[in-house]
Structure 1
Amino acid sequence: MKKVNLAVVGATGMVGRTFLKVLEEREFPINDLYLFSSSKSAGKKVTFAGKEYTVEELTEDSFTGRNIDIALFSAGGSTSGKFAPIAAANGALVVDNSSFWRMDPEVPLVVPEVNPEAIKEHKKGIIANPNCSTIQAMLPLKALHDKYTIKRVVYSTYQAVSGSGVKGVEDLEEGSKGNPTGFYPHPIAFNCLPHIDSFLDNGYTKEEMKMVNETRKILCDDSIRITATTVRVPVKNGHSESINLEFEKDFDLDELVATLAAMENVVVVDNPAENLYPTAAEFSDRDEVFVGRIRRDFSVDSGVNLWVVADNIRKGAATNAVQIAEKAIEMELV
């Protein structure tokens, strides 16, 4: 694979650090590496592949004259909104992990196992990484939509505090000692909060509407009826989702399970007799999406229930972005 000059924006944050971990694990073909952050973290030293790098402050001149081919962004929506176009104007292909560009019609929203062809459709030099909870759902949904045609989805998510960043993890850790930091509107330790991101006028949260809108965009099907309830739970890392699907056509359950197992990077863990099903604790720090508790929904003619687990910082953010970058190189887009 062709070597590229690569930048990581937000290199000292939780996802940024995981970018570097995943890049090193996957032996991503890097020629020159540039690390950027806010002024607060600038000057920090980071070791990557045995070499020490100094983190630079992100400025409007950071991409000038450096021939950066790919820039991985995970520094928040306002930063991406300002600096992603600057990076793209200087020749970089931007893969952005924020929500800022996801619903822009000229910016592809990509899960590489699901819609890699969309990478070619970028018109602004920017590709969006979907929301973490959406990414893990897309792998099983793509396999089943192609086979049976999904007409309705009910999402119920149980999302780890790492999805809120370092402050979310700190609130759980301190709250479990009786000293919540107040980061969440209610204590998260020993609790569940049906409240991720802000509430909208329709009664849903932004997180819930992200899942609705992003699912339709990635699957290229606005006819799918979708509803969601997203819940923050006292788990450090790893999102879990109960997904109820209703299909246009009936299915054989054994065939459906085989369809899921055949999907790239989906692992079926489903043996109730042996208490085998995916858990966030067991499958943290993995890149696959794990599916279990596969069973018919007897309340409708053609429905199924799934339990879907993935590491939200890896597959739900960093790994998916790195996979997009890999595909872009394979497609000779950089």
Structure 2
Amino acid sequence: MSERYVVAIVGATGAVGQKIAEKLVERNFPYSHLKLLASKRSAGQQLDINGQSYVIEEATPEAFEGVNFAFFSAGGDVSRQLAKEAVARGAVVIDNTSAFRMDPETPLVVPEVNPQALQNHKGIIANPNCSTIQMVCALEPLRQQAGLKKVIVSTYQAVSGSGAAAIEELKKESHQLGIEQPNPQVLPVKSQPKHYPIAGNLLPQIDVFEDNGFTFEEMKMMNETKKIMELPSLAIAATCVRVPVVTGHSESVYLETETELSYEEIIQLLSQADGIVVQDDPANQHYPMPLYAENTDPVFVGRIRKDPNEKTGIHLWIVADNLLKGAALNSIQIAEKMIELNGVSK
């Protein structure tokens, strides 16, 4: 990595944007210059990164002149407005929103799973949904060995996935428990008329409901998994639930492989996979938990069990920091893999 790159972060004041900046420094990403971009409202503010003060600039088309990599994490509308403007000025866009994920022209990439998809990009690479990323990381080593024919997943997703306002709502309601009636304004979906408390509660709705009864979040997991793993006919269903946890998504996954794997083979395959840490020692109550996954990079897998009724059935419990591997870290790993494969030429 002798070449140096000009890097822009769109949405630099948000939780994911700040994590991207932190990880760029931590991983010694080869940037020569860092541009922090945000809304006009935030322009002129200063952010400190690695002891250096940066002035936030307004995200405009002209702001991408000379940029090599542009990490977008400011919402789908911003990505739809500015991503192609950045590409037109020579940048490779790595987008953290759902704006381009199902676009057939846009690669949807988890580097441990489908790095080959990067070869076909046209300037924009989509970062998958946070829950999708951690699940496919755990599924891929098993699929490579034994195939994959069915997945049923239930998620337990942290409120940080809904942004800073949801975190504040959880904290406020937690203090109100047993003292006063909460007045929820954000969850499950801020734009919808009904809101429910998250403290002491579970919300079986993440995003809006589709006509088929699944939420948009659930459909994202289902469709993105098929695209990333290049399994268009995969039988997959998801139920996504918001839980009163600040950071760290958890998932209960049942899968069926095409050929049978022993418990020992499952452990070996997962233990040898990049980015996976196996925590599976029930006798000593050792298993993944979101509290201990926060601010860490790996995808943790535990509670590994062979299904008692289906010989190819496997149960997994998967946990990861949704702001890191689920967003910021995966984005940077995409850029690192691009440099490793063929630089940033389009």
Secondary structure of 1:177's match?
helix
Report the counterpart of residue 113 of structure 1 in structure 2.
112
Report the counterpart of residue 13 of structure 1 in structure 2.
14
- Offset at residue 32 of structure 1 (A): 1.2
1:128 paired residue among 126, 129, 149: 126
**Higher deviation after alignment, 41-50 or 71-80:** 41-50
- Counterpart-to-counterpart distance in 2, 1:332 and 1:149: 30
- Offset at residue 332 of structure 1 (A): 2.8
Secondary structure of 1:218's match?
helix
Instruction: Give unmatched runs, 5+ long, in structure 2.
Output: 177-181, 188-194
Report the counterpart of residue 182 of structure 1 in structure 2.
185
TM-score of the superposed pair, with normalisation by structure 1:
0.97
2:298 paired residue among 275, 278, 288: 288
- Offset at residue 67 of structure 1 (A): 1.2
Report the counterpart of residue 269 of structure 1 in structure 2.
279
- Kindly provide the amino acid, as one letter, of the partner of residue 210 in structure 1: K
Report the counterpart of residue 143 of structure 1 in structure 2.
141
8 Å contact 1:172–1:180 — kept in the other structure? no
- Counterpart-to-counterpart distance in 1, 2:277 and 2:50: 29
**Higher deviation after alignment, 113-122 or 203-212:** 113-122
Report the counterpart of residue 179 of structure 2 in structure 1.
none
- Counterpart-to-counterpart distance in 2, 1:60 and 1:92: 11
- Counterpart-to-counterpart distance in 2, 1:163 and 1:27: 26
- Kindly provide the amino acid, as one letter, of the partner of residue 205 in structure 2: H
- Offset at residue 180 of structure 1 (A): 4.4
**Higher deviation after alignment, 49-58 or 160-169:** 49-58
Which residues of 2 match residues 4-83 of structure 1 at below 5 A? 4-63=5-64, 66-83=65-82
- Offset at residue 50 of structure 1 (A): 2.4
- Kindly provide the amino acid, as one letter, of the partner of residue 218 in structure 1: I
**Higher deviation after alignment, 293-302 or 175-184:** 175-184
- Counterpart-to-counterpart distance in 1, 2:341 and 2:147: 29
- Kindly provide the amino acid, as one letter, of the partner of residue 207 in structure 1: E
8 Å contact 1:171–1:180 — kept in the other structure? no
In 2 relative to 1, CA 186–271 (structure 1 residues): closer, same or farther, beyond 3 Å?
Answer: same
Verify: 1:221 aligned to 2:219, yes or no: no
8 Å contact 1:174–1:180 — kept in the other structure? no
8 Å contact 2:299–2:319 — kept in the other structure? yes
Number of equivalenced pairs: 331
CA offset digits 1:101-140 (Å, max 9, x no partner) = 00001100000111111111112x0000000000000111
- Counterpart-to-counterpart distance in 2, 1:54 and 1:126: 26
Report the counterpart of residue 306 of structure 1 in structure 2.
316
- Counterpart-to-counterpart distance in 1, 2:336 and 2:243: 33
- Offset at residue 301 of structure 1 (A): 2.8
- Counterpart-to-counterpart distance in 1, 2:140 and 2:183: 40
Secondary structure of 1:111's match?
coil
2:156 paired residue among 155, 158, 163: 158
8 Å contact 2:184–2:196 — kept in the other structure? no
- Counterpart-to-counterpart distance in 2, 1:234 and 1:299: 33
Secondary structure of 1:256's match?
helix
- Kindly provide the amino acid, as one letter, of the partner of residue 117 in structure 1: Q
Verify: 1:204 aligned to 2:214, yes or no: yes
Secondary structure of 2:62's match?
coil
CA offset digits 1:80-116 (Å, max 9, x no partner) = 0110000000000000000000000110000011111
**Higher deviation after alignment, 210-219 or 170-179:** 170-179
TM-score of the superposed pair, with normalisation by structure 2:
0.94
- Counterpart-to-counterpart distance in 1, 2:128 and 2:219: 13
Secondary structure of 1:300's match?
coil
- Counterpart-to-counterpart distance in 1, 2:326 and 2:124: 18
- Kindly provide the amino acid, as one letter, of the partner of residue 186 in structure 2: F
- Kindly provide the amino acid, as one letter, of the partner of residue 250 in structure 2: S
- Counterpart-to-counterpart distance in 1, 2:292 and 2:51: 29
- Counterpart-to-counterpart distance in 2, 1:299 and 1:229: 22
Report the counterpart of residue 97 of structure 2 in structure 1.
98
- Offset at residue 328 of structure 1 (A): 1.3
Verify: 1:237 aligned to 2:247, yes or no: yes
- Counterpart-to-counterpart distance in 1, 2:270 and 2:134: 13
Secondary structure of 2:138's match?
helix
Instruction: Give unmatched runs, 5+ long, in structure 1.
Output: none
Secondary structure of 1:134's match?
helix
- Kindly provide the amino acid, as one letter, of the partner of residue 81 in structure 1: R
- Counterpart-to-counterpart distance in 2, 1:251 and 1:59: 52
- Kindly provide the amino acid, as one letter, of the partner of residue 84 in structure 1: A
- Kindly provide the amino acid, as one letter, of the partner of residue 121 in structure 1: N
